[in-house]
Amino acid sequence: MLIRFVRMTFQADKVSEFEEIFNSSKHKIRAMQGCCHLELMRDINQPNIYMTHSHWESETDLNNYRDSELFKTTWAKTKVLFAEKPLAFSVESLTVV
């Protein structure tokens, strides 16, 4: 299982535009082969900072999504809204208590 976090800082006046993009694509992303979980979170102190948290059965599944037309069109619409470069992390869970 691969766990992916992507932290995105948006221009303050572009937040609602991002939410519309995410809401229109979230079910399609979640339906991608190997996607087991998709979550959108927002920073409690900086409301223009969002993070996606997703679980993928394998790195291949994540890469297949990243190579898909869905990702390319969604990311093209999203990246123009950024105030800063996004940060992405792929991790594996070692311990859950």
What predicted TM-score, i.e. pTM, was given to this entire model?
0.93
pLDDT score at 12: 97
Q: How far is CA 2 from the centre of its chain?
A: 14
pLDDT tens string 40-63? 999 999 999 999 999 999 999 999
Measure the CA–CA gap between 56 and 77, rounded to whole angstroms: 23
Beta bridge partners of 41: 51
pLDDT score at 93: 93
pLDDT tens string 66-91? 999 999 999 999 999 999 999 999 99
Measure the CA–CA gap between 66 and 68, rounded to whole angstroms: 6
| 49-56: strand order across its sheet | 35-42, 49-56, 2-9, 87-91
